[in-house]
């Protein structure tokens, strides 16, 4: 039995590790497919963009993880799914000279799991694709970081009398945490003597909803917004839709213009376009794969979908499971368990998403969280306790990929790095 998992984000990679490590199914073949050769946990992309995380130190090779966990890895972008012939088609890869390094290939499967994540949704706003930066991938996050360094150099050397402003569109978790990381990065750059005066820098967070973090509890969002505005100096514009993005910043629906040297778009996601182009895979209006409560595609029971690319029904209110890291972890664990038991039909317990709470990190400054212990009971935390809980999410992901001893060694290595390395990546 060959299981092909397309997409090596949180959901797909964790599932490949869980399936590959199971020695009771030695005859099974697990193949993980991704367009890139290395993994960085997506919730850390905002730190890569700000330079507070060195992506070259935190990345993990899929080939290494495959050898460690018992799965095979195939490099290449998905070009299409052909359920009639039980195949997926991978596109060609080109080297730096434009020559074909790997030709197009097809991979046969007995069971297919789509875990492709999501893409940015520009909602048809003019100028977004041309003038805004995105954080959908490691490459895009590194592109934001490079652009930030160039803009800082220009502002501090060539344009000492001009402002350096950044506009972030979308005040979900990514936008909020990015604004805090960039605020911290600007403070560090000033300490290094390479930045611009605080009076000439500004970060504006734009949100169409009435408050930041619209999906999260109101008291949590209120505490976060207060810290952003009062402690970090971030300008928050709520009830502010964007009409246009241009090279000078953004134009709001009410006609106001927000000038910016950099505009970063984190407002909304949609399913990968390649899925919408595969007529045999049913997708909703935003391009997510439509699945039942056993995570099976409604179009073909041999195709499953997990993570941000899937439209997974909730148990109670008819809504959809939110695209969050904790949801991806639960989905991969649920589906891996069913596959290992040989029970991937319509019977058995359906997937049940459990919301264990929300955590929001404001860089090195502070963090806020609300943890659920069951039912309507909750515990609000902040400061060092919330920061520790936030870091534990990443450690849990590392534990799934590497095991407990290696995860603990990683904690030690990270602490040692902080004693000898700069707090901001300046290259």
| 279 assigned to some structural domain | yes
Q: What is the pLDDT, as a whole number, of residue 342?
A: 83
List Cβ neighbours of 372 (8 Å cut-off, separation of 6 or more): 355, 356, 357, 378
Whether residues 159 and 241 share a domain: the answer is yes
| 427 assigned to some structural domain | no
Whether residues 293 and 260 share a domain: the answer is no
C-alpha atoms less than 13 angstroms from C-alpha of 5 in its C-beta half-sphere = 31
Helix axes 325-340, 10-21, angle to 10 degrees: 30
Cα–Cα distance, 167 to 18 (Å, whole number): 40
Q: What is the pLDDT confidence band of residue 378, given thresholds at 50, 70 and 90?
A: confident
| 351 assigned to some structural domain | no
Q: What is the pLDDT, as a whole number, of residue 191?
A: 82
Whether residues 280 and 236 share a domain: the answer is no
List Cβ neighbours of 71 (8 Å cut-off, separation of 6 or more): 16, 17, 19, 20, 30, 31, 32, 65
| 425 assigned to some structural domain | no
User: 283, 313, 340: which is the final residue of a domain?
Assistant: 340
Whether residues 134 and 244 share a domain: the answer is yes
- The pair phi, psi for residue 276, each rounded to 5°, is -65, -25
Q: Hey, CA dihedral for 283, 212, 181, 361, is it positive or negative? A: negative
Residue 4 has pLDDT above 70, yes or no: yes
Note down the domain range covering 365: 357-420
| 174 assigned to some structural domain | yes
User: 217, 236, 265: which is the final residue of a domain?
Assistant: 265
Q: What is the pLDDT confidence band of residue 274, given thresholds at 50, 70 and 90?
A: confident
User: Which residue did the predictor score with more confidence, 209 or 158?
Assistant: 209
Whether residues 281 and 374 share a domain: the answer is no
Q: What is the pLDDT, as a whole number, of residue 375?
A: 60
Three-class secondary structure of residue 116 per DSSP: coil
Give me the number of domains the chain comprises: 3
Whether residues 256 and 305 share a domain: the answer is no
The alpha helices in 93-246, defined as continuous H runs, are 128-131, 138-153, 173-192, 218-226
Residue 245: closest CA among 154, 173, 169:
169
Whether residues 182 and 221 share a domain: the answer is yes
Whether residues 251 and 280 share a domain: the answer is no
| 328 assigned to some structural domain | yes
User: 247, 265, 283: which is the final residue of a domain?
Assistant: 265
Confirm if 46 and 178 have CB atoms less than 8 A apart: yes
Q: What is the pLDDT, as a whole number, of residue 195?
A: 65
Residue 276 has pLDDT above 80, yes or no: no
Cα–Cα distance, 50 to 291 (Å, whole number): 36
Assign residue 171 the CATH number of its domain. 3.50.50.60
Q: What is the pLDDT confidence band of residue 331, given thresholds at 50, 70 and 90?
A: very high
Q: What is the pLDDT confidence band of residue 79, given thresholds at 50, 70 and 90?
A: very high
Whether residues 65 and 35 share a domain: the answer is yes
Residue 269: closest CA among 194, 333, 340, 215:
215
Q: What is the pLDDT averaged over residues 423-427?
A: 85
Which of the given ranges, 149-153, 258-262, 342-346, has the highest pLDDT on average?
A: 258-262
| 426 assigned to some structural domain | no
| 350 assigned to some structural domain | no
Cα–Cα distance, 296 to 346 (Å, whole number): 9
Whether residues 155 and 90 share a domain: the answer is no
Q: What is the pLDDT, as a whole number, of residue 374?
A: 60
Confirm if 53 and 182 have CB atoms less than 8 A apart: no
Confirm if 23 and 129 have CB atoms less than 8 A apart: no
Whether residues 87 and 211 share a domain: the answer is no
Please tell me the least confidently modeled range out of 27-31, 321-325, 367-371.
Answer: 27-31
Whether residues 305 and 240 share a domain: the answer is no
Tell me how far apart the terminal alpha carbons of the chain are, to the nearest angstrom. Answer: 46
Q: What is the pLDDT, as a whole number, of residue 160?
A: 63
List Cβ neighbours of 284 (8 Å cut-off, separation of 6 or more): 271, 290, 311
């Amino acid at each position: 039995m060959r299981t092909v998992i397309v997409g090596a984000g949180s959901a797909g990679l964790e599932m490949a590790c869980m399936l590959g490590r199971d020695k009771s199914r030695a005859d099974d073949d697990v193949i993980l497919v991704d367009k890139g050769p290395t993994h960085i946990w997506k919730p850390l992309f905002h730190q890569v963009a700000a330079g507070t995380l060195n992506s070259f130190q935190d990345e993990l090779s899929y080939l290494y993880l495959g050898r460690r966990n018992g799965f095979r890895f195939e490099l290449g972008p998905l070009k299409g799914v052909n359920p009639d012939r039980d195949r997926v088609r991978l596109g060609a890869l080109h080297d730096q000279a434009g020559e074909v390094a790997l030709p197009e290939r097809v991979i046969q499967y007995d069971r297919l799991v789509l875990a492709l994540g999501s893409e940015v949704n520009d909602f048809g706003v003019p100028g977004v694709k041309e003038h805004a930066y995105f954080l959908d991938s490691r490459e895009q996050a590194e592109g934001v970081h490079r652009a930030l360094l160039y803009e800082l150099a220009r502002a501090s050397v060539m344009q000492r009398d001009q402002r350096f402003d950044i506009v972030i569109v979308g005040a979900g978790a990514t936008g909020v945490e990015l604004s805090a990381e960039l605020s911290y990065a600007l403070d560090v750059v000033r300490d290094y003597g390479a930045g611009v005066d605080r009076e000439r820098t500004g970060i504006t967070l734009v949100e169409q909803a009435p408050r930041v973090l619209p999906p999260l509890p109101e008291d949590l969002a209120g505490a976060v917004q207060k810290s952003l505005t009062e402690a970090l100096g971030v300008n928050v514009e709520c009830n502010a839709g964007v009409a246009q993005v241009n090279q000078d910043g953004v134009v709001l629906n009410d006609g106001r213009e927000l000038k910016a040297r950099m505009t970063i778009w984190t407002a909304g996601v949609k399913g990968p376009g390649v899925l919408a182009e595969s007529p045999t895979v049913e997708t909703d209006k935003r391009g997510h794969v439509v699945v039942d409560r056993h995570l099976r595609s409604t179009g073909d029971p041999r195709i499953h979908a997990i993570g941000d690319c899937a439209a997974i029904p909730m148990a109670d209110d008819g809504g959809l499971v939110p695209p969050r890291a904790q949801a991806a972890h639960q989905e991969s664990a649920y589906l891996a368990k069913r596959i290992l038991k040989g029970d991937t039909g319509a019977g058995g317990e359906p997937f049940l998403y459990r919301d264990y709470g929300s955590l929001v990190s404001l860089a090195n400054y502070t963090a806020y969280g609300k943890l659920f212990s069951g039912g309507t009971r909750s515990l609000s935390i902040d400061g060092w306790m919330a920061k520790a809980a936030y870091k534990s999410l990443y450690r849990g992901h590392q534990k799934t990929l590497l095991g407990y001893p290696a995860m603990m060694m990683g904690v030690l290595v990270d602490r040692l790095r902080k004693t000898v390395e700069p707090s901001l990546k300046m290259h």
